[in-house]
Amino acid sequence: MSAVLAPPGLPTLADRHDALLTPYLRQHGRGCMAYSTLQPGLQYFVHERLGYLAYLVLRHPLLAPGGLHVVLGDPIAAVADYEALLEAYLHRPGAAATVFLEIGEDFAALLSRRGFPVNQMGVEWEIDLAGFDSELRGPAYGHLRRWRNKARKEGVEVVEGRISQLDSDELMALNRDWLARKGGHEFIGLNRPLTLTDEDDVRYFWATREGRLLSLAIFDPMYRGGEVIGYLHNLSRIVGDAPHGTNDLIVLEALRRFQAEGRELLSLGLSPFAQLDDGRYPHKPYLSSLFRFMFRHCPFIYPFEGNFFHKDKYRGRQIKVYLASIPDLNLYRVLGVFKALQVF
């Protein structure tokens, strides 16, 4: 009925699109983290009838002496089957401590009912494409309008294509330049990493000026009932001297095209530790305090406030997301999560 998949080494693209996973993903992959469950380095708990959970594994003598699983996003399953899938996972042989990261209200409520503390970890942003004014009229879109116009005025052009159309040396130079300005490495787990191989249903947009590659943006599909209903803006890469507004010009062009195709939504992803409100579920107060401190005072780890400020200018809806742990989330386990995500 169920199995734990632990592919040896780094999976290839074909491994990650294993026929065992994609039917569940295309049927139930509505969450903005859903497609990220196909990224390299994950392991899987798969229930043949219900769906699957995808997780990172950490083994560390101090932070995770018995092992730690960091489950990414909601279960890839019907909401009605969340509890049965969770029950099967918890009763698997060799169960390890587990942290469920960036989960939505339905799964958070289930975990809370079962007695596990649930902390809010930020908000995700979704734009209702049918209601978005792509002309950016009015004061609400003033910042976006200025950023878009500045990039256009400086000769930035946006192209959609397959990633294989780009020169791989130029693309890797762009990636190295971006990483060098972000501490030399990228976090894993919450963002799917860059791959140079074309992927089904993934959309690729890039910006150029006078033939030079300035920026790349990748949009991952979000599914319901076998159809692509929208996209997550998963990844951006941009050179340090690109005109201000280049990335926004890409996002707005992608948004316009998704609108024309009749897609429902565009997700801008997570703003970590933003807009915390822990009144809904019993939670760990120390963890909320830690997250609020990091949001205000730790831009050297991640630009938390800048991320929130920028995404807010798109005037999307904020969706609360949570984390929970089995057993309770003590400080060592919090540090274990950061370690698994390669924050340090």
Q: What is the pLDDT of residue 252?
A: 97
**Residues in Cβ contact with 19 at an 8 Å cutoff, skipping those fewer than 6 apart:** none
Q: Are 267 and 115 in contact (CB under 8 A)?
A: no
Q: What is the pLDDT of residue 7?
A: 39
**Residues in Cβ contact with 96 at an 8 Å cutoff, skipping those fewer than 6 apart:** 57, 64, 66, 67, 68, 69
How is residue 293 written in tokens?
Answer: 């401190």
Starting at the earlier edge strand, list the strands of the sheet with 227-238.
Answer: 2-5, 43-47, 51-60, 64-72, 97-103, 317-326, 118-128, 265-272, 227-238, 212-224, 203-209, 157-161
Q: Which domains does the chain have, with CATH numbers?
A: 2-125+276-302+319-340 (3.40.630), 127-268 (3.40.630.30)
Q: How far is CA 93 from the centre of its chain?
A: 29
Q: What is the pLDDT of residue 45?
A: 94
Q: How far is CA 273 from the centre of its chain?
A: 14
Q: Going by DSSP bridges, is the β-strand pair 118-128/157-161 parallel, antiparallel, or unpaired?
A: unpaired
Distance of alpha carbon 261 from alpha carbon 255, whole angstroms: 10
Q: What is the pLDDT of residue 3?
A: 56
Q: Between 304-312 and 285-297, two packed helices, what is the crossing angle to 10 degrees? A: 80
Q: How many other C-beta atoms lie within 10 A of the C-beta of residue 128?
A: 12
Q: 134: helix, coil or strand?
A: coil
Q: What is the pLDDT of residue 76?
A: 97
Residue ranges, the chain, pLDDT below 70: 1-18, 94, 183-187, 344
Q: Are 137 and 173 in contact (CB under 8 A)?
A: no
Cis status of the peptide bond prior to 327, with omega within 30 of 0: yes
Q: Are 227 and 271 in contact (CB under 8 A)?
A: no
Q: What is the pLDDT of residue 340?
A: 86
